[in-house]
Amino acid sequence: MIAIKLKCQIFLLFGCLVWFTGLTMAQPAKLAKPTEIQYKWHEQERIMFVCLDPCTWQGREYDNHSTPLSRINPTLLNTDQWCEVAKSWGAKEILYVAKHTGGFCWWQTQTTDYGIRNTQYKQGRGDVLKDLSLSCKKYGLNLGIYVYPGDDTWGAGTGSGGRTKDPSKQAAYNRVFRQQLTEVLSLYGNIIEVWFDGSCVIKVDDILEKYATNSVIFQGSKASLRWPGTESGKLYYPAWNTLKSTALKTGVSTQYDDDPDGDAWTPLEADVTLYNHNWFWAPTNETKRRNVDELMDIYYKSVGYGGVLLLNSTPDTTGLIPAGDVDQYLRFGKEISRRFNKPLLSIRNKEGLSFEISFNVPTAVNHVVLMEDYRQGHRIREYKIEGLIDNQWKLLCKGSAVGRMKIDPFPTAIVSKVRLQVTKNIENPLIRSFSVYQVENFQYKADPYTSNEWNLCGTWDTKTFIKGTSEQTIDLSRFITHPGQYEVTFTASVVITGMKVTKAEIYFDGDRLTLQDFIRRDDKSNTFYINRTAQVAEGSSSVLKVKMSSDNAVFQNKGEIKIRERKIY
């Protein structure tokens, strides 16, 4: 602690010298910047997921192989319809789940008998991935591919990253998955995005280097995109598209790893369901369809926080996206256009710290959309927007991260001018656009305060340790009630004598998952985060198992184990 205080005093002294002498603070040697393919991907702004699987016939979220292949025959399936729906709400890419956790393959492959070639669909000659590839070209859409690294038919279950429960099967399954990945990347045209849901433990770098040089990669050893850590479709603000490369190399980095000065550019993709919260169609799931107001809130906190929105669609057993969903996507797209297609005034492609937009007469405004040229990195670090009201500048809104886009709504104000001031920056800010809007029929609502308090879920005491170690099982089921990101921390009554968690594992519904689902915050902390992505149904369980050791054999210590959900706001 003394050393920390000394460092703080030195830092404060240096800060004062800078303030008095006008010296420039040290800046990062080199700002992280997007690659050409990252920029192309990011500019899409909106992407549509397409989730269709045997579990659609089962009314489940995960295929339990109870559906005979003879029943899978989506006779009305029309990939043109999928593309028309995507375009209706402004999506520029379709990310297709060509293989989900159960192992069913929607393309013609000899790697498994569990696939479209052994169904009645088009007499076994159907290839949905091929049809979708052609439709995307026809409609001017990019194509992304989701091929689950695991496969239940091989005992590589949900969250396994492709690791088989039976080690003797691993080598054989590695060959199967590598062949599947090679097929989908080499036979269906340019693939802009490759999704490894839950990361990938199978070595596929050589395949990606050969066939995916023009692709962004979601998770895995070659990751160039990140999952936020929640399936709400919303990012936490501020949202920085950079992090340290050491965190990126884990293959499972999330928004927890945001670092505005990080050396690796890795943008955030916010995924969310249309049905709250189901990825696959079932008759009852249509009743859970999100309304346009909810979708717009998601848009503001994904695209409007500088990320990319990945919104799910789920064809029914006919192969078509249901009519009610089609209508909702169309309404969503129209509402985005209504609000943001026509700014009152804009400034574009400027360099500097301060800019003003002037009106001929006092004008009502309630939105500002700010974009920076993020091809040159995160240069804007803090900013404020002011309005000239009755000849006085008054604050309308403020923020930090901008990146591709920051949408700032605020209560309607009558202004004669609007001013942007960048109050903190790295290098000279590059303003791509600074636009002012008056969105009609818009009622500003400040984000509600949501509690982020810790909940006690257990205790520990070195009195119970045997030879300095202890094992404990903590049932977290009553705290983890829905998909999301949760934090677990172990506190100590006496910091000096502490305790170290030497091993920790999370079991969802009795299955141990350790890849993207449970990650230590850092090596020096007893704080972890849990990513619950699967649906939490009645009877679902979440159990934490830990091993602990005391770092002092003389002084006894005790502490608490606490959990909280990571809140969006």
Q: Residue 565's pLDDT is what?
A: 86
User: Of the segments 113-122, 451-460, 468-477, 511-520, which one has the largest average pLDDT value?
Assistant: 113-122
pLDDT of the residue at 291: 98
Mean pLDDT across the chain: 90
Which of the given ranges, 2-16, 195-209, 521-535, has the highest pLDDT on average? 195-209
Domain ranges of the chain: 44-339, 345-437, 455-565
pLDDT for 505 equals 85
Q: Among the listed ranges 41-45, 220-224, 312-316, 517-521, which one has the minimum average pLDDT value?
A: 517-521
- Judged by phi (left if over 0) then psi (alpha if -120 to 50, else beta), residue 199 lies in left
Is residue 56 within 8 A of residue 155, CB to CB? The reply is no
Architecture per CATH, 345-437? Sandwich (2.60)
Q: Do residues 56 and 108 touch, judged by C-beta distance below 8 A?
A: no
Give Cα 542 to chain centroid, integer Å: 22
Average pLDDT over residues 519-544: 78
Q: 325-350: per-residue pLDDT in tens?
A: 999 999 999 999 999 999 999 999 99
Residue 53 has pLDDT above 50, yes or no: yes
Tokens, residue 437 = 């809007």
| Predicted confidence (pLDDT) at residue 4 exceeds the cutoff of 60 | no
pTM of the model: 0.86
Region 159-186: mean pLDDT is 96
Question: Of the ranges 33-42, 44-53, 227-236, 282-291, which one carries the lowest mean pLDDT score?
Answer: 227-236
CB-CB contact of 499 with 556 (8 Å): no
Which residues have a Cβ under 8 Å from the Cβ of 525 and sit 6 or more positions away? none
Contact 184, 147 (CB under 8 A): yes
- Dihedral sign from CA coordinates of 189, 191, 197, 198: positive
The amino acid at 45: E
Q: Where are the beta strands (DSSP E) in 216-301?
A: 216-218, 242-243, 264-265, 269-272
pLDDT exceeds cutoff 90 at 10: no
How confident is the model at residue 513, as a pLDDT? Answer: 60
CATH of 44-339, one of 3.40.50.1240, 3.90.1150.10, 3.20.20.80, 3.40.50.300: 3.20.20.80
pLDDT band at 516 (very low <50, low <70, confident <90, very high): low
Confidence grade of residue 183 (pLDDT, cut at 50, 70, 90): very high
From CA 348, how far away is CA 62, in angstroms rounded? 47
Kindly state the average pLDDT of the residues 304-314.
98
**pLDDT of the residue at 13:** 36
CATH fold for the domain made of 455-565: Jelly Rolls (2.60.120)
Give the tens place of pLDDT for each residue, 388-417. 999 999 999 999 999 999 999 999 999 999
Residues 488/545, Cβ–Cβ less than 8 Å = no
Same fold, 44-339 and 345-437: no
- Would you state the pLDDT for residue 484? 79
